[in-house]
Structure 1
């Protein structure tokens, strides 16, 4: 059979296989998905960024795996659909016992336009879901995997990744916050050298709190926000900033307080979505992770359906100070706003202190945090798993 006579199989064909691509296939897939994800970068810069990101501490030495769906019966195989997975350190806990496990984040799911509507992406995700349960597990278990859907909730739910809370609140970028910063606790900037120590403290706090919060029979799950993960996000922003503006950001977050045990801090990253690097529309400074050392100050509850807060909190001014610092940093980097995912009531108080009109947005189309559970009750993880730390740092 000649190439011209070859007939593409449908998505249920027994000849379809999930494999790792050749270098040429991987680059070819990048070239096809570039229009969707390169933003203001040129094609050449986009290809260089992806190569650069694959060599970070988080991704090198098998930290990132590329996958493609191909027809194993074809003489000249084509990439029918593709994606990538990033190995993530994670924790699960139940009945007071915390276990470190392997997880994977799935990103860059893409089916070339010429191969769509044949069921290839669906087949790829079905194969991948089974594969990841034992992929790179060594002596550990893989209890869950995550992805962030930009095509709504139905497609991935049908393949085993169930939607979890996906909300955010934002405040506008500004060089002059409307409130008097002097009325808030003073923050100071965080730099790259500060991250390792703070990430280690955060992980210890997560482990301690999971021990206490997992005594009701439900599982608690968390991706670990270690320094390699945070630096991967920063490597991404630094590469893009250098390409667009010829300089790189040095402020990586902010912290309030000096006394260990009573500090509040956050890390952030800048993402340029606008095709024009001189316009700030849609560009967003994302809060990657918000941390409080004092557990008594983090008892805020998620907002109810009317976005009402549950009283005043003594930590809200500290969080407002962090957000104010983020607003000013965002304004220096052509950002339109500052966004924080899945805010608690206390975080909403803080945001509304800076912008009384700020409201919680519940996403139903883009960046839908979705989790596939490999433990008991895999079809109902939202009922049986408490996913904590469901923040931007987990995105990939």
Structure 2
């Protein structure tokens, strides 16, 4: 009689993807804080996650928590307990998105997947993979009462292969970085950049969304499908609440400057939003701390040199990075003029193609053949989409 091979626990038919209770959620937060608390203490990390769950982006179902459990184990070992053993966990963020296909722009919802976690003692058993397999199916119809969902995204910190095996294919993941120290190298040739504050951003985000729609609508017939996450105010504020919380913990106050703008006449301006991320618990050290450009925006009738304008904004970013103890300033998937801007301030700057951390990945739900990254354009694939 042929022997039956031992199958990994992650293939068990009794496994199910469910939403955790508050107690189960807190168990996972305490476990995954080792991975994602950065400069925060474990308790501060719990407080930050609670605060982030109350934002306009995340409340009213904007964030959904998921865990993988073994229903048989729960029933057999804990018949009267309401608490289950989470075998793997993650969360998803509902995001507004735009898709251009067949000559039309469609607004849809997308889901960004974050905090994929499996406790060390449960790893290499197939639990994370099973959770992702179940999640990919669930997200196709999750919260689609009003709008269709055509894709989901995630940002891999474990390279390009693992998530690709479950349908999230890696897209271009590059950045350009310059030191987080103020420099006068190009000061004489740069236009004046003015700081942006929280109260300035809503109007600019609305204009930004309008420009993004126009960019997609202008695509020529026969172009590849294009997708873009909407850089709305809810998304930008979420990043800034996260930033403010950590800054208050480390430095006793939140930063006021949230971006920079060049020009004052509507229709002829360029601006950027940014955020600060601290990974070092010592406020006196800069290593592991990054100043991220969330997004660059250039209006249609901007009359100056775009690279020079971006250099002016990056120069202000360097000053802010130095003030707040950040090692370098980074822009994701930079355009040629962003690279040129960085090199005006730091000639050694070059594009770095990431292959292990923050790999942008996308799963396209409609049926397709071939490599999605080669048949779909991810427009404006910048840091603002990260979750």
- Aligning the two structures, in what range does the TM-score lie when normalised by the shorter sequence? over 0.9
User: How far apart are the structure 2 equivalents of 1:368 and 1:166?
Assistant: 5
In the alignment, is residue 260 of structure 1 matched against residue 266 of structure 2?
yes
- The equivalent of 1:17 in structure 2 is 16
Q: Say which of 297, 300, 304 aligns to 1:291.
A: 297
2:100 counterpart of 1:93:
yes
Instruction: Please give the alpha-carbon distance, in whole angstroms, between the structure 1 residues aligned to 2:187 and 2:223.
Output: 44
When the two structures are superposed, what TM-score results if normalisation uses the length of structure 2?
Answer: 0.94
Contact kept, 8 Å, 2:180 with 2:319, in 1: the verdict is yes
1:109 and 2:116 correspond: yes
5 Å-filtered alignment, 1:242-253, equals 242-253=248-259
2:307 to 302, 311, 316: 316
Alignment of 1:160-239 (within 5 A): 160-175=167-182, 177-213=183-219, 215-239=221-245
Deviation at 1:248, TM superposition (A): 0.5
Q: Report whether the alignment pairs 1:74 with 2:73.
A: yes
CA contact (8 A) 1:122 1:159 kept: yes
| Residue of 315, 320, 339 corresponding to 1:348 | 339
- C-alpha offsets along residues 339-384 of structure 1, whole Å, 9 cap, x if unaligned? 0000111111100000001111100000000000012416521122
Partner of residue 363 from structure 2, selected from 372, 377, 384: 372
Matched residue, 1:281 = 287
Tell me the equivalent position of 1:382.
373
Q: After superposition, what is the alpha-carbon deviation per residue over 1:254-289, rounded to whole angstroms, capped at 9, x for unaligned?
A: 000111111100000000011322210120110001
Deviation per CA, 1:42-67, whole angstroms, max 9, x where unpaired?
Answer: 11100000000000000001000000
Measured against aligned partners, the alpha-carbon deviations of 1:136-173 in whole angstroms (never above 9, x if no partner) come to: 01131101110000000000001000000000001111
1:68, 1:82 within 8 Å by CA — same for their partners in 2? Answer: yes
Distance 1:110 1:282, change over 3 A: same
CA contact (8 A) 1:184 1:321 kept: yes
- Alpha carbons 2:169, 2:362 under 8 Å: kept: yes
Q: Distance in 1 between matches of 2:46 and 2:370?
A: 38
- Does 44-53 or 275-284 show the bigger shift? 275-284
TM-score (norm 1): 0.92
Give deviations 1:212-234, integer Å, cap 9, x for gaps: 12522421100000000000000
Partners in 2 of 1:16 and 1:295 — Cα distance? Answer: 56
CA contact (8 A) 1:89 1:101 kept: yes
Is the 1:173–1:331 Cα contact (8 Å) retained in structure 2?
Answer: yes
Moved more, 225-234 or 179-188: 179-188
Distance 1:376 1:178 in 2: 53
Number of aligned positions between the proteins: 373
Offset at 1:182?
A: 3.5
Q: Secondary structure at the match of 2:111?
A: strand
User: Deviations along 1:233-252, whole A, 9 cap, x unmatched?
Assistant: 00000000011111000000
Query: Is the partner of 1:52 in helix, strand or coil?
Result: helix
Counterpart contact for 2:270–2:302, Cα < 8 Å: no
Rounded Cα–Cα distance in structure 2 between residues aligned with 1:345 and 1:86: 31
Residue pair 1:264, 1:293 contacting (<8 A) in 2 also:
yes
Query: Take 1:37 and 1:295, find their aligned partners in 2: how far apart are those partners?
Result: 42
Which residue is equivalent to 2:38? 39
